[in-house]
Chains A and B, each alone.
Chain A
Amino acid sequence: MCLAVPMEITKILDSGQAKARQGKNEIDIDVSLLEDPKPGDYVIIHAGFAIETLDLNEAEKRIDLFRQLDEQNQEAEQEA
């Protein structure tokens, strides 16, 4: 029920519409469900609507966490 893709807003148009880009695909989307959409925002698009803005800092943080996983695994083994 949740098929959605991340895209970057490139331009805000009127009446709650905007242009968004993913790779070479640019499509028209509806951003009226977002509080304050701006060009440069990464948003999740479901059925042609942006349903939430992505927090890229959180995205980076989590990936860093995953990258450090085997170090944590190894530390745990050494402590044991």
Chain B
Amino acid sequence: MNWEEGLKSREIAGKLTARIKKSTAGYSGTICIMEVCGTHTVALRRSGIHSLLPDNIRLISGPGCPVCVTPTGYIDNALDLASEKDIIVATFGDMVKVPGSNRASLSSFMGEDKIKIVYSPGELITLANHTDKQVVFLGIGFETTIPTIASVFLRASREKMKNLFLYTAFKTVPPALKALLQDKNRYFNGFLLPGHVSAVIGRKAYDFLTEENGVPGVIAGFEPADMLSGIASLVELIIQERNAVVNGYTRAVREDGNRKAREVISELLEPGEERWRSLGIIPDSGLRLKKEFQAFDAEKVFSLPPVIDKEQPGCICGEVILGKAAPAECGLFGTECTPDHPVGPCMVSSEGTCSAYLRYTI
């Protein structure tokens, strides 16, 4: 069995689970771990790990779902752009079904030449070169995705393209974690940190967690053994009351991350304040186009109104995203709000907590 098979193997999963059970055997409290990353939320549930963990470990979700933390106002603006005759809105598939403040989503434009779903931002150059329309790309994502988009727009700039634009909603992880640590009601004991964001920003970027107000953090990958070993390490740190930041995804994450990717980001973008759904405005947590690239900035070129955050009545996605409420505590969960008729992003996003809970939990 090679390492790839080992990461998915039942045998190794069994050993890691036994290790976790051993660590928590004598522990009298509940260990509450925040899975920061939405991809972890889904991967944990899809692999059935929840069913293997002892009862005194609770996993709660965090704000690392880029779709979930995008305020409704951004979608509303995207919908306005799509309805313009000469604009094509290009987006990752993840955004297509997310409702704006009036429940409409970009999916209502599917089949018309108004939206284009891309798998990779690399497709944008060809798309823009083959149309007379203006192409606006919805720039959603954290540090994993941001360099891929930045790379494309740097190229668009070099090639002096005139019909490709970027509508940024980029967010960065460390400021969000700092904001969570400031919550006076501490409701979690540690962070399971996002593996691929970490591959870009490096283990060092989380050292602020070791400060007085911090909690332990373990960086984990996404295969079953990655997640189980991440949880095992985190549980031990929590029980020992040690605020360390451990790299549990050493094959992909370096101390200093991917410097070249970060250079690409900082060539095109600069930090600025950003509005997160429910967390409000977090300073320096967003990335905007630098002045010299203003010509590509959709917000300026199309005079888009500032993004507001308007929740649907009864929707508590804001609290669910932060792990403060469980999906079942929402009055709309499973009744008015289902994956087929979503009210909020937690239900419609492929990584949303509510959709993961409804779809995978026994």
Q: Which residues of A contact B (CB under 8 A)?
A: 1-4, 6, 30, 32-35, 44, 46-49, 51-52, 54-56, 58-63, 66-67, 69-70, 73, 76
Contacts and interface: CB of A to CB of B under 8 A. Distances in A.
How many of chain B's residues touch chain A, expressed as a range? 35 or more
Nearest to A72: B19
Interface in B174-203: 194-197, 199-200
A51 B147 contact: yes
B119 interface: yes
B225 interface: yes
Contacts of B4: 6, 59
B119 to A, nearest CB: 6
A63 B194 CA distance: 20
B142 interface: yes
B258 A2 contact: no
Contacts of A67: 6, 12, 15
Nearest to B350: A3
A1 B194 contact: yes
B196 A63 contact: no
Interface in B230-257: 250-254
A49 B200 contact: no
13 contacts: A1-B39, A1-B66, A1-B141, A1-B194, A47-B119, A51-B147, A52-B252, A52-B254, A52-B261, A59-B3, A69-B12, A73-B15, A76-B22
B122 A48 contact: yes
Contact of A49 (B37, B65, B147, B195): B147
Contacts of B225: 63, 66
B39 A49 contact: no
B120 interface: yes
Interface string B50-84: 00000000000000111000000000000000000
A46 B3 contact: no
Given A1-B65, A55-B251, A58-B250, A30 B195 contact: no
Chain A at the B interface: mostly helix, strand, loop or mixed?
A: mixed
B121 interface: yes
Contact of B16 (A6, A32, A48, A69): A69
Given A34-B258, A51-B261, A66-B15, 9 more contacts: A2-B194, A33-B264, A44-B196, A49-B120, A51-B144, A51-B148, A51-B199, A69-B15, A73-B22
A3 B197 CA distance: 10
B328 interface: no
Contacts of B254: 52
A2 B229 contact: no
A8 to B, nearest CB: 11
Contacts of B229: 62, 66
A46 B251 contact: no
Contact of B122 (A30, A44, A55): A30
A66 B65 CA distance: 30
A37 to B, nearest CB: 11
Question: When A and B form their complex, which 8 residue pairs have the shortest distance between CB atoms, in order from nearest?
Answer: A48-B120, A2-B196, A2-B39, A69-B15, A59-B251, A63-B6, A49-B148, A52-B199
